[in-house]
């Protein structure tokens, strides 16, 4: 090696000596891997410990849901265990709108299955594209819903719900009312007992797949509490009888509307309650508000002559009157009082009448004179004791309290006309409760729709006076009374007719009437009271004894049999012949005097 080469070799050896060694390279690689591992561990710690809840929430938000567990609404039964309202399982079609829109090619088939157009469905989804939940169709039948779900459209799923069904349809519509699409009561007893019937839905956590289908139940958040059943006092058989007979009479007379209510006098339980016109609670959408109104408790009428027994009750309680004395002069059927002609319908008048005769002949003059002879406060308090001017307390939604003017403000003419049923307003249920008090020995029960829900009752008048009044009212259905067409074969009927002009324009309509009958059966040992009100019959027949009494007779004939009430009139003969099954006298025309108070208002307006 020459001198020039030696420095170069030394320089090269020096460089080799100062370069990284194999060990250094290995340590470097190990260090890099260690740092990377520490980074991974740190990242894992961050994901699994530090921010674990955040990422779990994010995952749950995509796949874990809390969904309701639907519950069946309680069943409503009649007093004999027959179902009146039941809940049937249905399926609602729900979706995530954005997912359906992401699969726009599936919309036409989905729209066809739902019974709508593709354009309408797309517009509906676009309006809700920012939501995670939307209904496509509520409460479809399971078969129809399965046809939709079988399309397997992403984001479309089924949700179980319940829909209310009413087996008796329009027959019990006004009593039961109906529920909305969310199965909550909207009217009638469905509304009054909504909390009892509804129950409480449960909730559970589930995992859904990307199609929105439940793939796993995770846990139950809280258990569902099914609605409780409700057993009514209503007898479906009697309800149907009342509905059928009232409907037929309204059609025959072309009347505007009508109502009937039947009470068990011993308990205050409502056995039947019918209002016409009616509607189908299984298809509420097509009905009108007037059809859905329960006229038995919401509509008020002037009671006409059906009020006379309560004027008589005050007279008997005052000690001034007995069933046979004193005699009351009703003259020739016209009595001028304070410039008003109070009149009876009987041609030529009734002359001298006993208090019983005032009811038998339905004398307006006699009732007015009795009312005027009594202390005003005493008479007012007596009317109030029978529930007039107050709600019956039945608990039915929208029940009217009627109207009874405060006694101290009565003018003499008002006092007189109230004696025979003008100048105050009552509901059919109020009138039935008052007659039930007479039938029950003077004990008033609060009307109830619940079987076994009656109260202990309150003594309103003495049992003696109550019995006397029922005996007096028996004469009304006997020959010569105003309600012979209310007679029932083998039973004694006590009752009272009423025919009141309809109020119109500050006065009374000349040829428009409310026709009423209130009856008690069997009179010797009362079990039931029935009240029939028919509004504005458009025919030459309008007296309560001819219009409403026959409905009472037909319905109560069946009701007595269904309730297994023993006869109290076997072998009894009335003057003129024995009772027929259809009412009246065998082999003769019933002696119908029609001595209601129709026409009196024209000449004796308050």
Following DSSP, what letter does each residue of 479-519 receive, concatenated? TTSS-GGG-BTTB--EEEEEEEEEEETTEEEEEEEEEEEEE
Per-residue model confidence (pLDDT) at position 594: 47
In the DSSP assignment, the letter for residue 91 is E
pTM attached to this predicted model: 0.81
Q: Residues 192, 240: one domain?
A: no
Assign residue 166 the CATH number of its domain.
Answer: 3.90.1310.10
User: How many folded domains does the chain comprise?
Assistant: 2
Longest dimension (CA), the chain: 172
What is d(CA 281, CA 191) in angstroms, rounded to the nearest whole number?
Answer: 13
Q: Residues 244, 224: one domain?
A: no
Q: Among the ranges 118-132, 309-323, 567-581, which has the highest mean pLDDT value?
A: 309-323
Q: Residues 163, 262: one domain?
A: no
Domain containing residue 447: 236-279+294-571+578-603
Per-residue model confidence (pLDDT) at position 22: 82
Question: Does residue 95 carry a pLDDT above 60?
Answer: yes
Q: Residues 407, 352: one domain?
A: yes
- Where is the domain boundary, 212, 231, 250? 231
Catalytic: 87? no
- Where is the domain boundary, 216, 231, 246? 231
**Helix, strand or coil, per DSSP, at residue 260:** strand
Per-residue model confidence (pLDDT) at position 574: 45
Confidence of residue 403 (pLDDT cuts 50, 70, 90): very high
What is d(CA 546, CA 337) in angstroms, rounded to the nearest whole number?
Answer: 30
Per-residue model confidence (pLDDT) at position 347: 79
- Are 470 and 494 a contacting pair, CB within 8 Å? yes
E strands in 295-401: 328-329, 334-337, 340-343, 352-353
Residue 59 domain flag: no
Mean pLDDT confidence for 62-66: 61
Per-residue model confidence (pLDDT) at position 58: 55
Residue 268 domain flag: yes
Q: Residues 525, 599: one domain?
A: yes
Residue 25 domain flag: no
The answer to whether the bond into 107 is cis (omega within 30° of 0) is no
**Helix, strand or coil, per DSSP, at residue 246:** helix
Write the secondary structure of 582-606 as one string of H (helix), E (strand) and C (coil). CCCECCCCCCCCCCCCCCHHHHCCC
Q: Residues 206, 262: one domain?
A: no
Which residue in the block uniquely carries the two structure tokens 């409460």?
139
What is d(CA 127, CA 120) in angstroms, rounded to the nearest whole number?
Answer: 11
Q: Residues 250, 217: one domain?
A: no
Q: Residues 265, 223: one domain?
A: no
Q: Residues 242, 226: one domain?
A: no
Question: Does residue 24 carry a pLDDT above 80?
Answer: no
Mean pLDDT confidence for 575-587: 36
The answer to whether the bond into 326 is cis (omega within 30° of 0) is yes
What is d(CA 273, CA 263) in angstroms, rounded to the nearest whole number?
Answer: 9
Nearest to 265, CA basis, from 443, 20, 463, 2: 443
Give backbone dihedrals phi and psi of 77, rounded to 5 degrees, phi first.
-115, 155
- Are 188 and 176 a contacting pair, CB within 8 Å? yes
Q: Residues 203, 313: one domain?
A: no
Residue 9 domain flag: no
Nearest to 260, CA basis, from 466, 551, 589: 551
Q: How many CB atoms lie within 10 A of CB 72?
A: 16
Q: Residues 241, 195: one domain?
A: no
Give the lowest-confidence range in 17-21, 56-60, 98-102, 306-310. Answer: 56-60
Confidence of residue 511 (pLDDT cuts 50, 70, 90): confident
Secondary structure element (H or E) that encloses residue 15, with its range: helix 5-18
Mean pLDDT confidence for 507-532: 93
Q: Residues 203, 244: one domain?
A: no
Assign residue 394 the CATH number of its domain.
Answer: 3.40.710.10
Per-residue model confidence (pLDDT) at position 1: 55
Per-residue model confidence (pLDDT) at position 528: 98
Dihedral of alpha carbons 517, 599, 469, 591, sign? negative
Mean pLDDT of the chain: 87
Per-residue model confidence (pLDDT) at position 57: 59
Residue 118 domain flag: no
Question: Does residue 291 carry a pLDDT above 50?
Answer: yes
Q: Between 307 and 582, name the one with better pLDDT.
A: 307
Tokens of 324: 């046979």
Q: What is the pLDDT of residues 523-536, one digit of tens each?
A: 999 999 999 999 99
Q: What is the pLDDT of residues 149-193, one digit of tens each?
A: 999 899 898 888 889 999 999 999 999 999 998 889 999 999 999
Q: What is the pLDDT of residues 208-227, one digit of tens each?
A: 655 555 555 666 666 778 88
Question: Does residue 404 carry a pLDDT above 70?
Answer: yes
What is d(CA 399, CA 449) in angstroms, rounded to the nearest whole number?
Answer: 13
Q: Given the residues 233, 305, 482, 554, select the one marked as catalytic.
A: 305
Per-residue model confidence (pLDDT) at position 48: 74
Q: Helical H runs in 46-179?
A: 52-63, 97-102, 107-114, 118-127, 142-149, 173-176
Residue 61 domain flag: no
Residue 110 domain flag: no
Give the lowest-confidence range in 9-23, 245-259, 477-491. Answer: 9-23
């Amino acid at each position: 090696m020459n001198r020039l080469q030696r420095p170069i070799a030394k320089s090269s050896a020096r460089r080799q000596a100062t370069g990284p060694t194999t060990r250094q390279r290995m340590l470097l690689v190990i260090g890099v891997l260690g740092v990377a591992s520490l980074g991974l561990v740190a990242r894992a710690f961050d994901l699994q410990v530090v921010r674990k809840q955040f990422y779990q929430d994010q995952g749950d938000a995509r796949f874990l849901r809390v969904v309701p567990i639907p519950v069946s609404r309680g069943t409503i039964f009649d007093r004999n265990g027959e179902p009146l309202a039941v809940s049937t399982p249905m399926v609602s079609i729900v979706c995530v709108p954005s997912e359906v829109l992401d699969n726009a090619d599936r919309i036409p088939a989905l729209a066809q299955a739902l019974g709508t157009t593709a354009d309408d469905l797309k517009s509906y989804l676009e309006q809700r594209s920012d939501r995670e939940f939307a209904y496509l169709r509520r409460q479809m039948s399971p078969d129809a819903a399965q046809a939709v779900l079988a399309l397997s459209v992403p984001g479309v799923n089924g949700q179980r719900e319940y829909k209310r069904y009413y087996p008796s349809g329009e027959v019990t519509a006004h009593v039961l009312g109906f529920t909305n699409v969310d199965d909550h009561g909207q009217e009638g007893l469905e509304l009054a007992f909504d909390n009892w019937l509804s129950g409480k839905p449960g909730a559970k956590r589930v995992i859904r797949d990307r199609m929105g289908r439940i793939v796993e139940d995770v846990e139950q958040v809280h258990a569902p509490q099914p609605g409780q059943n409700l057993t009514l006092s209503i007898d479906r058989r009697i309800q149907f009888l009342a509905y059928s007979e009232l409907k037929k009479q309204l059609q025959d007379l072309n009347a505007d509307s009508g109502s009937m209510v039947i009470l068990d006098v011993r308990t205050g339980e409502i056995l039947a309650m019918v209002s016409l016109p009616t509607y189908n609670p299984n298809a509420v959408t097509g009905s009108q508000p007037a059809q859905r109104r329960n006229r038995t408790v919401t509509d008020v009428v002037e009671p006409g002559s059906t009020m006379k027994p309560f004027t008589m009750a005050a007279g008997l309680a005052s000690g001034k009157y007995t069933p046979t004395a004193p005699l009351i002069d009703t003259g020739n059927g016209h009595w001028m009082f304070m410039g008003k002609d109070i009149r009876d319908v009987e041609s030529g008048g009734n002359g001298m009448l006993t208090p019983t005769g005032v009811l038998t002949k339905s004398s307006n003059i006699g009732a007015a004179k009795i009312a005027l002879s009594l202390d005003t406060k005493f008479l007012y308090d007596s009317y109030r004791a029978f529930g007039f001017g107050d709600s019956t307390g039945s608990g039915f939604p929208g029940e009217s309290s009627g109207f009874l003017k405060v006694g101290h403000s009565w003018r003499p003419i008002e006092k007189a006309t109230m004696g025979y049923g003008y100048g105050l307003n009552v509901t059919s249920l109020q009138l039935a409760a008052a007659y039930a008090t007479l039938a029950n020995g003077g004990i008033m029960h609060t009307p109830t729709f619940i079987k076994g829900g009656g109260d202990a009752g309150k003594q309103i008048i003495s049992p003696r006076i109550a019995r006397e009044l029922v005996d007096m009212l028996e004469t009304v259905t006997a020959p010569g009374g105003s309600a012979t067409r209310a007679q029932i074969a083998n039973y004694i009927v006590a009752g009272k007719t009423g025919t009141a002009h309809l109020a119109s324009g500050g006065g009374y309509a000349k040829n428009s009437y409310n026709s009423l009958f209130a009856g008690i059966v069997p009179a010797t040992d009362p079990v039931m009271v029935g009240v029939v009100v028919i509004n504005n019959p458009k025919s030459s027949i309008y007296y309560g004894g001819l219009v409403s009494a026959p409905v009472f007779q037909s319905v109560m004939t069946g009701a007595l049999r269904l309730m297994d009430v023993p006869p109290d009139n076997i072998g009894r003969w009335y003057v003129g012949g024995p009772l027929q099954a259809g009412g009246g006298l065998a082999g003769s025309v019933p002696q119908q005097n029609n001595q209601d108070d129709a026409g009196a208002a024209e000449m004796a307006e308050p």
